[in-house]
Structure 1
């Protein structure tokens, strides 16, 4: 069997804050193509990572819808990760999905004998909010020099404080959009389900790109875990801890590890989502 010149492996884990159930988790991840974590991926890969704002109604549902739409749109239209009109069109299209979803949700609640209360209508009118991190990874064009190392190109868009970390030799090469732990605040920019000002959303979104080679990693994280990673005195040691969890089957152990960090005061008690993309080649 011929070894592919270069491939990626992708896995992701999502865990609720301590004391909450999985159904209450307001972090969401969507990865395309939908394949097993131990499958070699040779084609483009996209991911959407969202952190729903607890203060808004139906934040978890909006985070799930937004992350899925972002991954799907980035796969279909990679140019949206360059910003401008393409990102504005994406923003308009995903906001347009919210009201139809809300109609179905309201009808389902009524059918279950749990119609919306008056105060729920008031809260829903304000919309739901979430941060957004979208990433697309593409094989770089084939090089004429067959001896040259294979490479992958990645592009990312971020609104808010969900973060991407590019690692090489298990050392941090780039952090995006937050570069230091002290930059995290309590009021990150958010993507609103009723924000029809697509130009404003595009203006507040940051864009970047880079290249990965064999042995590199990308880690996508929501804010609590990202802040823990950036604040670690021994960042290499922190990374080695995180890399212990490599598959969906590790979720129970991942939760136990997170709760240990929380109990020691090292990690804020919040929902956590992480996507790991490993680059391999010969």
Structure 2
């Protein structure tokens, strides 16, 4: 009997904290290839999730630049997201992008009649900061044994600096939480990727790496810290997953924001920007 090849569906939602506009949101997500959430993917995919640190200048822009850079480089280099020289070279190259970007930003501010103020120069000299979570998913190529015949698996590899989290679920129950395993483990000062940190070896040393296998029916959720902490603290984790599954595409963004605000009003979710990526593995 011929079974259809397995595939994945990917969707992501990004919402600002209560009282902020989408333009002020400092969480960034880049998914490659850039396809519609309802389109089947059978090729490798990469995701970059970054949470800009509000205390730093231009954190939103650095988060976006960092998320895109890691997604693009991880797509080109399958072994990027593991300890070693490839990740160290990525870290160095990401930092090298910042000064040219900042020079263009400064030029545009002058052309718009809004040159940088002295205090902005002071803040920018310190650099921008963000957490980093990157994932690459590849078809495994080795069928696993299933009750109804062979099944196609997938392999994922992840790198994390800071407290944006990956959750691997099977039957909507948590198999792995990375890099934070419990709600109480979230701190107030996570490790951050600095736009002026030229010590790529140190950035690599502070980054954690993990890999795993997915079967059809599994899910990966990637989430920035506020939503990740909410999930890990949930008294009924399967019910929390069901809540998240209510939002399956960009048309659900308004409902997603209303749901987040309800959690905030009940003091179940810290008022912070939220980004979530959902990867569903389907097939036999």
TM bracket, shorter-chain basis? over 0.9
In 1, Cα distance between equivalents of 2:65 and 2:174: 31
Q: How does 1:77-96 map to 2 (within 5 A)?
A: 77-96=77-96
TM-score, scaled relative to structure 2: 0.97
Q: Which moved more, 1:79-88 or 1:97-106?
A: 79-88
In 2, Cα distance between equivalents of 1:82 and 1:266: 34
Gaps of 5+ in 2: none
Q: Which moved more, 1:141-150 or 1:6-15?
A: 141-150
TM-score, scaled relative to structure 1: 0.98
In 2, Cα distance between equivalents of 1:184 and 1:152: 29
Question: How big is each residue's C-alpha offset from its partner over 1:12-60, in whole Å with a ceiling of 9 and x where there is no partner?
Answer: 0000000000000000000000000000000001000000000000000
Matched, 1:155 2:157: yes
Work out which of the residue numbers 192, 211, 214 in structure 2 matches 1:212. Answer: 214
CA RMSD of aligned residues (A): 1.3
The alignment of Structure 1 onto Structure 2 pairs a total of residues equal to: 281
In 1, Cα distance between equivalents of 2:80 and 2:125: 28
Which residue matches 2:44?
44
Query: What secondary structure is seen at the aligned counterpart in 2 of 1:278?
Result: strand
Which residue matches 1:199?
201
In 2, Cα distance between equivalents of 1:138 and 1:4: 17
Which residue matches 2:60?
60
The 8 Å contact of residues 143 and 153 in structure 2, kept in 1 or not, is answered as no
In 2, Cα distance between equivalents of 1:144 and 1:163: 27
Which residue matches 1:35?
35
Matched, 1:104 2:119: no
Which residue matches 1:116?
116
Q: List, as ranges, runs of 4+ consecutive aligned residues in structure 1 with deviation greater than 6 Å.
A: none
Shift of 1:80: 1.4
In 2, Cα distance between equivalents of 1:89 and 1:117: 34
The 8 Å contact of residues 144 and 151 in structure 2, kept in 1 or not, is answered as no
Shift of 1:76: 0.5
Work out which of the residue numbers 243, 246, 249 in structure 1 matches 2:245. Answer: 243
